[in-house]
Chain A
Amino acid sequence: MQNLNIEETKYTPRIELDASNGTISIVGKSYPENTFEFYEPVMKWLEDYFDGNAQAETKINLEIIYFNSSSSKLFFDLFDLLEEANDANTIIINWIYDEENESALEAGEDFQEDFENLTINLISK
């Protein structure tokens, strides 16, 4: 399976989806004009990955400094997808936030609350 890398832009994060070692990372800001269109290849990649291409353990690092409300919705959809894959896979999610970034922490807490079956670590840096 092909890896997927998307360079960081002013409005979008750096995205690295690595199928060979099972690591996924999304780092940066997320407030594109058309959020769902932007993340479509990412969601598609994840579906393919968990459809028989996943490693024994999948590690997901999310470090989102700034995000719009569409991105927030998108992350819920992403966690839905992960929750579904969680039964058949080992998935560890690290939600990394700056301790001064209250909104990032709150978002992480919301995800923990809504997705009790997922392993979501809140990591302050």
Chain B
Amino acid sequence: MVTHENKLIAEIEELKKEFEKTTDKLIKDVKRQDKIMSRSDKRQQQEYDELQKKFLEVEALQREIEDTQKEVVFTMGAIGESRSKETGNHVKRVAQYSKILAHHYGLDEKEAEMLKQASPMHDIGKVAIPDAVLNKPGRFDEEERKIMDTHAQLGYDMLKMSDRPLLKMAATVAYEHHEKWNGKGYPNQLKGEDIHIYGRITALADVFDALGSSRVYKEAWDDERIFKMFKEERGEHFDPQLIDIFFDNLDEFLEVRDSLKDVH
């Protein structure tokens, strides 16, 4: 009886040892797991902090790139302007008119804003026109007119190599802003919607502003005369849809013209 009892105790003792071994291992495993988790949490925190930091850096760089692009484009527009007979706020007004037209035509906000920035470069090709022609007082003869007209192609050639969206857009604007809806423009006599919408928009914006501004060689046209001409040129020089947009939203255009008057 005693032996039997002793044997049972011995077995229980054995079980106890096994149990202790197992629980020790379990405790060790749980501790290890906790350690892995806390290390991992710490690491994740550092990684996320690092990511946030990098994101901010990327954003700042992105802004820097965009600002630089805008500045380059604006400066190029100003250079183009300095080589043309347009003066004062012409470039700024054309930019605003272009954005209004783009917006009502249905381009999204980003594209309309880009066009606002790209359209001032429409005359950049004039930097390559010889001074003797460019600065000639009075009317051009046929030969000089031909040289002047190359500024569209020249502007395109200067910008076309770029892969930057804004400069690509500016290349299109420079190339096509003298095309006419009826196919009688230059340099490629494109017709209707074959002319890129950026070109059609800038064409209207540029002409509206040029006609309404006075120059050494000409008086500013009064609005009556401009509107009459626009109606006549609807579907001829200009995209009829853009002319409709122009008249439907005339207030917006006149507001821009008032706020960006040339100071004489």
Contacts of A107 in B (CB 8 A): 39
Q: Binary interface profile of A, 45-81, with partner B (CB < 8 Å = 1, else 0)?
A: 0000000000000000000000011001100100000
Asked if A5 lies at the interface with its beta carbon under 8 angstroms from chain B, I say: no
Asked if A33 lies at the interface with its beta carbon under 8 angstroms from chain B, I say: no
Interface size on A, residues (CB 8 A): 11
Asked if B35 lies at the interface with its beta carbon under 8 angstroms from chain A, I say: yes
A72 to B40, CA, bound (A): 9
Interface residues of A in 6-57 (CB under 8 A from B): none
Interface of A is mostly: helix
A73 in complex: contacting residue of B36, B42, B43, B46, CB < 8 Å: B36
Whether B36 contacts A76 by the Cβ 8 Å rule is yes
Asked if A110 lies at the interface with its beta carbon under 8 angstroms from chain B, I say: yes
B43 closest partner in A (C-beta): A103
- Using C-beta atoms within 8 Å of the partner chain, give the interface range for chain B: 10 to 19
Interface of B is mostly: helix
Contacts of B32 in A (CB 8 A): 73, 76, 114
Asked if A99 lies at the interface with its beta carbon under 8 angstroms from chain B, I say: no
Contacts of A72 in B (CB 8 A): 36, 39-40
Asked if A84 lies at the interface with its beta carbon under 8 angstroms from chain B, I say: no
- Tell me the smallest distance from the CB of B62 to a CB of chain A, in Å: 26
A110 in complex: contacting residue of B37, B39, B43, CB < 8 Å: B39
Contacts of A110 in B (CB 8 A): 35, 39
Contacts of A73 in B (CB 8 A): 32-33, 36
A72 to B39, CA, bound (A): 9
Asked if A106 lies at the interface with its beta carbon under 8 angstroms from chain B, I say: yes
Contacts of B43 in A (CB 8 A): 103
A73 to B39, CA, bound (A): 11
A70 closest partner in B (C-beta): B36
A72 to B36, CA, bound (A): 7
- Tell me the smallest distance from the CB of B41 to a CB of chain A, in Å: 9
Contacts of B40 in A (CB 8 A): 68-69, 72
A76 to B36, CA, bound (A): 10
Whether A69 contacts B35 by the Cβ 8 Å rule is no
Contacts of A102 in B (CB 8 A): 46
The listed residue with most B CB atoms (<10 A of its CB), out of A69, A102, A107, A110, is A69
Chain A contacts to B: CB under 8 angstroms:
68-69, 72-73, 76, 102-103, 106-107, 110, 114
Smallest CB-CB A-B distances: 6 pairs: A69-B40, A72-B36, A103-B43, A69-B36, A73-B36, A76-B32
Interchain Cβ contacts under 8 Å between A and B, 15 examples:
A68-B40, A69-B36, A69-B39, A69-B40, A72-B40, A73-B32, A73-B36, A76-B32, A102-B46, A103-B39, A103-B42, A103-B43, A106-B39, A107-B39, A114-B32
List 18 other contacts, CB 8 Å, given A69-B39, A73-B33, A103-B39: A68-B40, A69-B37, A69-B40, A72-B36, A72-B39, A72-B40, A73-B32, A73-B36, A76-B32, A76-B36, A103-B42, A103-B43, A103-B46, A106-B39, A107-B39, A110-B35, A110-B39, A114-B32
